[in-house]
Amino acid sequence: MTLVWMVPATGLAAVLFALWLAQDVLRRDTGTPAMQEIAEMIFEGAMAFLSRQYRTIGILALVTAVAVAVLVGSISDGVKPIQFQNGQVSFATDVVIGRWQEGLLTGIAFLVGATCSGLAGYIGMFIAVRSNVRTAAAAQKSLKDAVTVSLRGGAVSGFLVVALSLLGVSGIFLVYSRILDHPPEIAPFLIVGFGFGASFVALFAQLGGGIYTKAADVGADLVGKVEAGIPEDDPRNAAVVADLVGDNVGDCAGRGADLFESMSAENIGAMILGVAIFSVTHKIEWIMFPLVLRSFGIIAAMIGLISVPFFTDAAPKSKQDPMTPLNYGFYVVSALSVAGLFIATKVMLGDAWYWFFFCGLVGIATGIAFVYITQYYTAGSWRPVQEIAEASKTGPATNIIIGTAVGFETTALTAITIGLALIGAFALGSQADISPAIPPFTTGIFGTAVATMGMLMSAAYILSMDTFGPITDNAGGITEMSGAPESAREITDKLDAVGNTTKALTKGYAVASAGLAAFLLFSAYLDKVKERLEIPLTAELPIDLSKVDVFVGGLLGAMLVFLFSSLAIRAVGNAAGAIIEEVRRQFRADPGIMAGTSRPDYAAAVDITAKAALREMVLPGILAVGMPVAVGLIFRYARHESVVTSLNGITYTAHDASGWLAVSGTLIIGTIVGILMATVLNNGGGAWDNAKKFIESGGLKDENGNTLGKGSEPHKAAVVGDTVGDPFKDTAGPSLHVLIKLLATITLVLAPLFIKSGSVTKTGTPTAAPGGTIEQHAPGLASADTLQDAPAQAVAH
């Protein structure tokens, strides 16, 4: 029995669930006319930005899709079938899909991936900016209602993202294997374009959204609070609507695209890793497993989400912390994920299933660990945030110094947890003995893939919590601007604080999943290199760090992370300059604005910020896409390193390997540095933010026990830290998650660009392979077509 039927079933169920949630949210009370007016402006601004952004991204994606199709068509050798012969999994020499057809299929997959990602972001945003005013209205009634509305509004985005990723990947897989009638084991290689398309959209969505949100935030603060001396969210500030719009485009659309990409790329990577096992066992389950496990995740997340309102009632009325029911919901998701993992592995993964079950448990545990690590470093109840608040007593400089130290420190637990998870999953997976022809290395890597899948089972729920953030943030702004009663403001403030935590959690979760996924995507890249070089899939291809090409490629990869962060941070400053100019212009042009008699032109401020943000996203975007390609091409033509590997008596020497070697260095070391830098930026920024909130909530005392609250000198110092942290945690950090995955997918799709065709020589006499006795093809020595070069003595070259 396979569980493959679950994939379309749960995918459709998730879509229906999202539609039901959307309908439920949309039919709710939209509050007072004042609220509706503000909400309408936010809605219009958000949709205007989104349309403009997706139009830009659409054009870029179309051009890139054509470029990818042409590039792959011109450089590829076409796709060869995978065969299991003589105890080893390798590519045959006949071409079943011509190179131009491969290019076309890759380009189409790219466009489908890009479209699905865009669609998920657009619809999710559409509901999110409809949910904010309904949350504000609900907050006038009760906390429970407000939590329900905002969480359901967020869940529309969360479930759509997961459903579209699942349906997209499985749909294109179905079309490329069954309908176009290609062997199922080569289809995963054809759909890597889907992952690249998703990364591409995610990069620009996250960059553009991140730049927009922080430019509006920093700009509104500087021109309003600092220059004009009016409070935050004051309706006289023309930038204030742009600020509220920004919360949505960064956290909702951006993070949605980010996790859409995580799931898609990870699904495809895991399917590619399953190919080697499928080729030996001929059980399609090894390829379909990632999709089925994701289906169980969707069910778990649905039930978890539905359960949240029950936990709201369970807590005593007196101390209603909205984080408590959300945490209980997450426990429900985790528990059900374990159950789903058990069923999926037991039914699908053969006799050695339990090893992979343990791998999945490692992944689920990693997800939970990251939820706690992020809370420790960014919530006010623990040492790090309090330490930053304490340092604010001696001014902004010490606030920044200690904040930086805290940010750097967060890498320790991150690296150790990811390291343990990888080693643990790999070691457990490599214990699984499926067939003598499948080396422990292959099952080990598959184990890390299962861990990543296990972790991402809760993605829909986590994303719902994430989008909950901007919705409640907006609800607070609407409540403030519409002059709603104090009791409603209290509820939205509470929700807003929880939203800050859930946003931080999602980023930690995204980093961890990127870290786990990186390793398996790198393995998929190496499989692609082996395909191109006609080296058996089960041979190891060493990416030797002591080779100068790998070292320098790695140095450049690490540098890419720093330079990209620099550009992203700077982009915020530039775009903020644009909105500041506009608000100043409006103040000058109409003195009535400041007097409160005329309404500022919010739409103009939204529009100018949107244009600036989209302009500013181009340079870092080009760097991210262009640098790995440039490294690969330069090294391919300038250097001529060789790589040697042996399998079953045959020695394969890949000449002119510098291109793909250097790219490997860039990819892996860029990933390692990217994970850590994203952690520093996300958690450092979050800690600064909450240190300010800690002071505002009266947590900081002077030596005589007096509270140093809002308006005190330490508070001013903490505001500096918070402002510094803004572009770190909402622009550069989240964009780095996407950069990491983009590096993986772009190299996967464009690998042939970096590889000289026919650059491998084979020497030696084939010997019996470990699995040579159990396979179904002719056992014994290599057949003529897999060993083209005659057995020979060592050839000097």
Binding string, residues 443-462; x marks residues near its own copies by CB under 8 A: -x---x--------------
Question: For 760, phi and psi rounded to 5 degrees?
Answer: -110, 135
Query: Which tokens belong to 238?
Result: 């023309």
Q: Is 649 in the site for its own copies (CB under 8 A)?
A: yes
The answer to whether the CB of 399 falls within 8 A of the CB of 721 is yes
Q: Interaction with its own copies in 174-203: which residues (CB under 8 A)? A: none
Q: Which of 69, 720, 738, 740 binds its own copies (CB under 8 A)?
A: 720
CA 43 vs CA 46, 126, 127, 471: distances in Å: 5, 8, 10, 12
Structure tokens at 241: 């609507």
Of 339 and 416, which CB lies nearer to its own copies in the complex structure? 416
From CA 702, how far away is CA 714, in angstroms rounded?
Answer: 10
Q: How far is the CB of 684 from its own copies (least distance, A)?
A: 10
Q: How far, in Å, are 86, 549, 763 from residue 645 at the CA level? A: 18, 18, 11
281 interacts with its own copies by CB under 8 A? no
When asked if residue 81 is in the footprint of its own copies (CB under 8 A), the reply is no
Of residues 81 and 436, the one with the C-beta less far from its own copies: 436
Measured in degrees and rounded to the nearest 5, phi and psi for residue 554 equal -65, -40
Residues in the chain: 797
Question: Least separation, in Å, of the C-beta of 391 and its own copies?
Answer: 7
Query: Looking up tokens 């140093």, which residue turns up?
Result: 708
Is residue 114 classed as helix, strand or coil in its secondary structure? helix
According to the binding rule CB under 8 A, does residue 646 interact with its own copies?
yes
Rule CB under 8 A: say whether 426 interacts with its own copies: yes
Closest contact distance (angstroms) between CB of 260 and its own copies is: 25
| Residue 362 interacting with its own copies (CB under 8 A) | no
- How far apart are the C-alpha atoms of 292 and 166, rounded to whole Å? 9
- Pick 481 or 560: Cβ nearer its own copies: 560
Compare residues 156 and 400 and give the one whose CB is closer to its own copies.
Answer: 400
Residue from 541, 610, 657, 739 in contact with its own copies (CB under 8 A):
541
Q: Binders of its own copies among 690-719, rule CB under 8 A? A: 719
* Nearest to its own copies of 422, 491 (CB atom): 422
Q: Which of 550, 625, 687, 738 binds its own copies (CB under 8 A)?
A: 550
Decide if residue 686 touches its own copies (CB under 8 A).
Answer: no
Q: Is 792 in the site for its own copies (CB under 8 A)?
A: no
- List the one residue from 672, 691, 744, 751 that touches its own copies (CB under 8 A): 672
Binding-site member from 67, 397, 589, 630 for its own copies (CB under 8 A): 397
To 10 degrees, what angle do helices 143-174 and 99-139 make?
170
Contacts with its own copies in 212-231 (CB under 8 A)? 218, 222, 226
SS3 letters across 9-47: HHHHHHHHHHHHHHHHHHCCCCCCHHHHHHHHHHHHHHH
State which residue, 279 or 565, has the beta carbon closest to its own copies: 565
CA dihedral 425, 428, 433, 437 (to 10 degrees): 40
Site for its own copies in 724-763 (CB under 8 A): 724, 727
Q: Are 619 and 626 in contact (CB under 8 A)?
A: no
Under rule CB under 8 A, which residues in 466-505 are in contact with its own copies? none
* Residue 559 CB, nearest approach to its own copies (Å): 4
Contact indicator for 537, 760 with CB cutoff of 8 Å: no
Distance CA 269, CA 754 (A): 20
Total residues binding its own copies (CB under 8 A): 88
C-alpha closest to that of 159 among 374, 367, 303: 303
Q: Is 569 in the site for its own copies (CB under 8 A)?
A: yes
Residue type at 659 in one-letter notation: G
CA 287 – CA 272 distance, rounded (Å): 7
- Contact letters (x/-) for its own copies, 590-629, by CB under 8 A? ----------------------------------------
- 395 binding its own copies? (CB under 8 A): yes
